[in-house]
Amino acid sequence: MYHVVAATTNPAKIKAITLAFEDIFGAEAFRIEGVDVDSGVPNQPIGSNETRTGARHRVIGARQVRPEADFWVGVEAGIEDNMTFAWMVIENMHQRGESRSASLMLPEIILQGINQGSELGDEMEKLTGIAEVKRKGGAIGVFTAGKLTRTSVYHQALVLALAPFHNSVYQVRTQTH
């Protein structure tokens, strides 16, 4: 059974990781442990590079906390231009898989708060009155009337990030002459 360490304690992210690992490896093939680690980037990452760096740093932190695990998974949400999205980073002892989620255009009222240094989650709480909205459906759930959620969008990207771990074409081969 694989020991999967999620570099988060956010239930929406852990559910997405669980669903992706179930899809690829089967429901009985792993157990997930969430750990609280620092992203090494601001609480509201801006831009693709900063967001991807946050996901990678979460994996590094998870590996330090649980070096005996089989997989480490980092998920970092960010803002780029007028959109929210997330980077997924998955590592085992031999390789890394990465993917970027779909993006959601944010309304100007939310972007104004973010541009003043606020986090998306805080702005969404102000707008909706939903406490800890980022631990639930997130802005994605709110703005798609629940048709998509943070979990469902991250799930898809995590399945993509898992591709190198179950497709032999990704395996590094050395040629002998």
Q: Per DSSP, what are the bridge partners of residue 2?
A: 30
Output the furthest CA–CA distance in the chain (Å, rounded): 66
- Residue 176 labeled ligand binder: no
Class of domain 2-105+149-170: alpha beta
- Residue 145 labeled ligand binder: no
pLDDT tens by residue, the chain, 177 residues? 999 999 999 999 999 999 999 999 999 999 999 999 999 999 999 999 999 999 999 999 999 999 999 999 999 999 999 999 999 999 999 999 999 999 999 999 999 999 999 999 999 999 999 888 887 889 999 999 999 999 999 999 999 999 999 999 998 665 555
- Residue 38 labeled ligand binder: yes
- Residue 157 labeled ligand binder: no
Token pair of 122, please? 């805080």
Q: Give the contacts of 33 (CB within 8 A, at least 6 positions apart).
A: 3, 4, 5, 6, 66, 69
- Residue 11 labeled ligand binder: yes
DSSP run (H or E) holding 112: helix 108-115
- Residue 102 labeled ligand binder: no
Domain boundaries, the chain: 2-105+149-170
- Residue 10 labeled ligand binder: yes
- Residue 77 labeled ligand binder: no
